[in-house]
Amino acid sequence: MMGWIETISEKQFLVLGMIAHPPFDITGVSGTMLNELIEERNVKQWSRLSFSSVYYIITQLEKMKLIKAKETISNTKAQSEVGAPQKLFIVTSTGQRILKSTVIHYFHKMDLNYQEMNLALAAAFVFDDEEFLDTIKNYKKRIDERIEVVRGRFKEDSKHEQEGDLPIHVWALFNYSFNSLSAKNNFLKELIDKIEEKLNSN
């Protein structure tokens, strides 16, 4: 399983997630439809995905048996863009497993960056609410632990700062780390509250 995580790219993961997202997991989705969705949701603003790369990635995912063709559609718009009728694709059971394991993998990374956080959240529909809550709580716990480590180092550096021997770049480094972790922690608190609110309303 980890081998798949290591070989699937961020672009492949993003397209796989879009194909697996309801209702496309049932109805199927074409390359043209994915490009329209990318435009509507401004996906290009936070990802490295371009319109032209979608068709190539679809071909890759099909070869990896993570998606499969459901049927072929034939309409003027599709043919005008790619020159031939397009296939509708759905995710395979293997694709579903890989998608979920990759999301879990992202949420186990302590240094989850902006791009990876967006990717993980975009595919979080693979969890039911209770699974999502547990995943986010576990991730927040690791962030809390990291904050305590950074806070301890920050206190030590504050003593050096008072003594006038702390380089400004070292001060900036630890403050940036602490503030970034604190901002992420606050977001996770809000997310946990939202999920719990939804669970309690059911």
Phi, psi at 136, each rounded to 5°: -70, -40
pLDDT of residue 153: 78
Phi, psi at 90, each rounded to 5°: -130, 160
Contacts of 197 by beta carbon, 8 Å cutoff, 6+ apart:
none
pLDDT of residue 109: 85
pLDDT of residue 69: 94
Domain ranges of the chain: 2-122, 127-201
Tokens for 169? 């770049």
Q: SS in 3 state form for 13-78? A: HHHHHHHHCCCHHHHCECHHHHHHHHHHCCHHHCCCCCHHHHHHHHHHHHHCCCEEEEEEECCHHH
Tokens for 4? 């798949």
pLDDT of residue 76: 44
Q: What is the pLDDT along the chain (202 residues), one digit of tens a residue?
A: 444 445 699 999 999 999 999 999 999 999 999 999 988 888 887 777 877 789 999 999 999 999 999 876 655 444 445 445 578 999 999 999 999 999 999 998 877 888 889 999 999 999 999 999 999 999 999 999 999 998 887 776 666 555 566 788 888 888 888 999 999 999 999 999 999 999 999 7
List b or e across 52-64, with b for residues whose CB sees 16 or more CB atoms inside 10 angstroms. Answer: eebbebbebbeeb
The topology under which CATH files domain 2-122 is Arc Repressor Mutant, subunit A (1.10.10)
pLDDT of residue 162: 58
Q: Which amino acid is at 187?
A: F
d(CA 13, CA 103): 9
Tokens for 116? 């990876």
d(CA 119, CA 198): 22
